[in-house]
Chains A and B, each alone.
Chain A
Amino acid sequence: MKKFIGIFVLSLLAVLFGIYQSASGLKEYTPMWPNLPAPIGSEPILITSAGQGAEGAVTHLMVKRLNLNANYRPRALATDIYDYETILIYIGYSKNGVKNAFRNFKEEKERIKRIVTFANHQEIPVILIHPGGSMRDDSRTIELIKEVLPLSDYFIGKRKMDHGKDVLEMSIQHKIPITLVKETRDMLTPLNSVFR
C-alpha cells in the first residue's frame, strides 16, 4: 500500500493543478461585432508580427486567400510603413522566433510599439489579429496585446482564450472594435470586412 502514497499525493497535486487552471481562465467570449460595418483599410497591406511566432505566416495565407495586395514582413521597422495603406499585425510571442530575429523581447516590444505609434501618426489603420487564442496566450503575448491594442483600430481574436476578459474590457475602454471567432478560418470574414 505504501508504494501508492507517492503516486496518490502527486495525483492530488495534478487534480489541484487542473482545477486551478480551469478556474483561472479559458472562458468563451461572445463577439462584440461579427465584422466591421464599413471598411477602414485599403491596399497595399503590410503584414508584420508582434512576437515573431513562426505561425504568423498564417496571416499572410489569409490575406492571399482574400486576394489582397500584401507583403509579409514579420521584422519590418517603423520606417518601412510608408509604402503601405494598412498595417496588419499578427500577435503571438515566440521565444524561438524572437531569438531567430536576433532580438530580445524588449526590443521586439519596442519595435512593434514604434510601428503602431508611427502608423497612428500617419493615420494608417492598424489591425490586430490573434489566431493563437488559447494556444498562444502566454503572459508575453498578452503583454504585447495590451501594448498595442489601445493604439489599434480593430482586433480580431479567438473566443477561447485565457485573459480574454482583459482584452475585451480593454477594447471597450478604448472603444476599439473587436471581433472574436471560433475557428481560425472564421477570421477571414472580419478580415475581409476591413477592406471591402
Chain B
Amino acid sequence: MKGPGRNIYAISGFIMMVYGQFFPAMVSEWTSHLFDMIEQSILQNESGLLLRASFTYITWNVFAFMLIYSGSMLSAEAVSKDRKRPVYQLSFAFIVLINVFLYNMMYNEYESYFMHLMMVITYLVLQLIIPEQPFSLLAQFVLLFLILVSFSWLDLYPGLAGMNFGTDDFAASLKVADSYLSEFEILQNLSLSFFMVFAVLAVIFTVLIYLFNQQITTMKKVQEQERELKETRDALLESNVYKEIHALVHDLKTPLVTVEGLISLLEMKLARDEKAVTYFSKINSATSKMNEMISEILSEEIKQDINVDDLISYVISHINFDHVNIDFTWSAENNIPPVKVNRIRFARALSNVIENAMLSLGEQKGYIHFSATNKEDGVLFRVEDNGPGIDQENLKKIWEEGFSTNNSSGIGMPFVKQVVENHQGTVRVESVPHQKTTVEIFLPFKQGDEHDFNH
C-alpha cells in the first residue's frame, strides 16, 4: 500500500475513534433524556415507554460504537490493507478492545469486553466472504452497522446478563426495570427477535455482496473476451489491407525475377565477351537496386514529387479496358503543380476507385470520367460514372472492411481511405443510383509532419 493512502486511513480512523469516544459527552442532553425516559417508564409503570427507551438506547449505542468501530477498521486498514490477513484481524480486534478499555475508563462504564470480542469475531468471519473491490469499504460500513445493531439488541437480552453481555449502564437499567415491569416479557422477546433479524440481515447482506461481486467478475471477463475478439478481428482485417500491398510486391517482383533470370542466361551465353560481362554486372547491380527500391517504395512513408499527368497515365496504364463497353475519358488541368505522394500506393488507390466504377457498370454501356483539378491548396481527383450506384443505406458501409456487393474482398474502399488519409487528404462518395456516382479525393499540396525520404 502507498504511503499517503495509509496516512489518510490512519488519520480518518483516528478522528472517527476520537469522535466515538467523546460521543456520549457530546450528546449529554440526549444521554440524560434517555435516563429520564427509563425512569419515567418505571414511575408511570408504562411498558410502552420502556420499549421506546429501549429503541433510543439501541440508537444511542449504535451511534457511539459505529464511530469507534469504523475508526478502528480504518486504522487497522492502515496497518494492513488485506482484511483477510491475521495482521489486519488482530490489529482490528486490538484497536477495538483498546477503545472499549478507554471508553470504560473515561466514563466509568462497564462495556463488556467479551461482547465486543464476539462482535469483532462475527465481523471478521463475515467479511472473509466479502471480496476486495473498489466499493468494499462501503460494504464494510454497512456490515459493521448491521452487526452493531444486532449485538446491541443482544445487550438487552436478560438471559445473557451472566455472560457479561449488556453490562453497560443503560442496558442494566433497562433490564432491571423490565425484570419488574414485565418479568422480562418485553426485553426477552424484543431483543432476541431484533438480534435475529439484524444478524440474518448481516449474513444476507454479506452473501449478496459476494454474489454481486461474482457477477461483476463474470461481466468483466465477458467484456475482456469481447475486447480480445474485437482485437483479433481488427488485426485480421488489417492484415487484409496488407494483402493488397503484398499483392503489389508480388506484382512488381514477378517481372523483375523474369528479368534477372533472363539476364543470367544471357550472361552464361556471352561469358567470353569481356565488355558484355561488365555490362551484365552493371545490369545485375541495377536490378538488385531496383529490388531494394521496390521494398522501399512499398513502405508507406516514402513519398516523392510527381506530376499529376504522370500519375494519371501511370494509373490508367495499369487498368485493363479490354472487353468493356465503357466510354472512359480523363482530363487534368494544366497548371497543377507536382504532388508529393507514395506513387505506387496512391496510384493503386486511384485505380481501385476506377475499377469499382468499371465493376459497377459491368457489361452495361456507360461512361467513366476521371479528372484532376487544381484547388489552390491541393488537387481534387474525381471519378464519375453513371452506373447503378450505391444505395443510401450502403454509403456508410463501403468504408467497412469486408463490405462488398460484388462478392469480392471488400477492402478496396478502406484501402483508398487509408492511403488518402496517410497523405492528409480526404475522400468523399456521393451517389444518385443510375445517374451519377462520384468519388472525390482531395490531396493537399502541403502535408504537415512530412517524412521526406527524397534525395
Most-contacted residue by chain B among A9, A10, A140 (CB, 10 A): A10
Which residues in window 119-139 of A have CB below 8 A to B? 131-136, 138
Judge whether B86 and A5 touch: CB under 8 Å.
yes
Given contacts A26-B162, A96-B35, A135-B161, contact A6 B124 (CB under 8 A): yes
Cα-based distance from A55 to B36 in the complex (angstroms)? 10
Is B315's beta carbon under 8 Å from chain A?
no
Q: Are the C-beta atoms of A6 and B35 separated by less than 8 Å?
A: no
What is the CA–CA distance of A139 and B90 in the complex, to the nearest angstrom?
A: 29
Which residues of the other chain, A, contact B107 by a CB distance below 8 angstroms? 95
Q: CB of B143 within 8 A of chain A?
A: no
Cross-chain contact of B121 among A10, A61, A131 (Cβ < 8 A) = A10
Complex contacts, A135 vs chain B, CB 8 Å? 158, 161, 166, 172, 175-176, 179
**Given contacts A95-B109, A135-B158, is CB(A10)–CB(B176) below 8 Å?**
no
Give Cα distance in the complex from A17 to B165, angstroms. Answer: 12
Is the beta-carbon distance between B35 and A7 smaller than 8 angstroms?
A: no
Contact between A97 and B120, CB atoms less than 8 A apart: no
A58 near B176: Cβ-Cβ < 8 Å: yes
Which of under 10, 10 to 19, 20 to 34, or 35 or more describes the interface residues of B? 35 or more
A31 to chain B, nearest CB (A): 18
Interface centre among A9, A26, A55 (most CB of B within 10 A): A55
A133 to B161, CA, bound (A): 10
Q: Does any Cβ of A come within 8 Å of B69's Cβ?
A: no
Say how far B29's CB is from chain A's closest CB, in angstroms: 11
- Given A6-B86, A95-B108: A132 and B162 within 8 A (CB)? no
CB distance from B425 to the nearest CB of A (A): 62
Contact B117 A13 (CB under 8 A): yes
Contact with B along A65-97 (1 / 0, CB 8 A): 000000010000000000000000000101111
Is there contact, CB below 8 Å, between B108 and A10? no
**Are A18 and B163 in touch, CB under 8 angstroms?**
yes
**Inter-subunit contact B176/A136 (CB<8 Å):** yes
A192 CB-CB contact with B under 8 Å: no
Interface: B39 (CB within 8 A): yes
Contact A10 B89, beta carbon cutoff 8 Å: yes
| Chain B binding surface, main DSSP class | helix
CB contact under 8 A between A62 and B180, given known A10-B120, A55-B173 = yes
Q: Flag whether B242 is at the interface (Cβ < 8 A).
A: no
A2 near B179 with CB under 8 A, answer no
> In the complex, which residues of chain B have a beta carbon less than 8 angstroms from the beta carbon of A2?
85-86
Q: Which of A6, A14, A138 contacts B110 (CB 8 A)?
A: A138
Name the contact of B117 in the complex, choosing from A10, A57, A58, A140 (C-beta under 8 A). Answer: A10
B55 interface hit (Cβ, 8 Å):
no
Bound CA span A183–B181, Å: 12
Within 8 A of A (CB), among B44-101: 45, 84-90, 93
Q: CA A5 – CA B177 in complex, angstroms?
A: 42
Set of chain B residues within 8 Å of A17, measured between Cβ atoms: 113-114, 117
Contacts of B93 in A (CB 8 A): 6, 10, 13
List 21 A-B pairs, Cβ < 8 Å. Answer: A6-B87, A6-B124, A9-B86, A11-B121, A14-B117, A14-B121, A17-B117, A21-B163, A53-B176, A54-B35, A55-B173, A57-B39, A58-B179, A61-B45, A61-B180, A94-B172, A96-B32, A96-B34, A96-B35, A100-B32, A185-B180
Q: A21-B163, A53-B173, A55-B38 are in contact. List 14 more A-B contacts (CB 8 A).
A: A3-B89, A7-B121, A14-B118, A18-B163, A54-B170, A55-B42, A55-B173, A55-B174, A95-B109, A96-B35, A96-B170, A135-B158, A135-B161, A184-B180
Question: Which 3 pairs between the two chains have the least Cβ-Cβ distance?
Answer: A6-B89, A6-B86, A57-B42
Binding site for A on B (CB under 8 A): 28, 31-32, 34-36, 38-39, 42-43, 45, 84-90, 93, 107-110, 113-114, 117-118, 120-121, 124-125, 128, 158, 161-164, 166-167, 169-170, 172-177, 179-181, 183
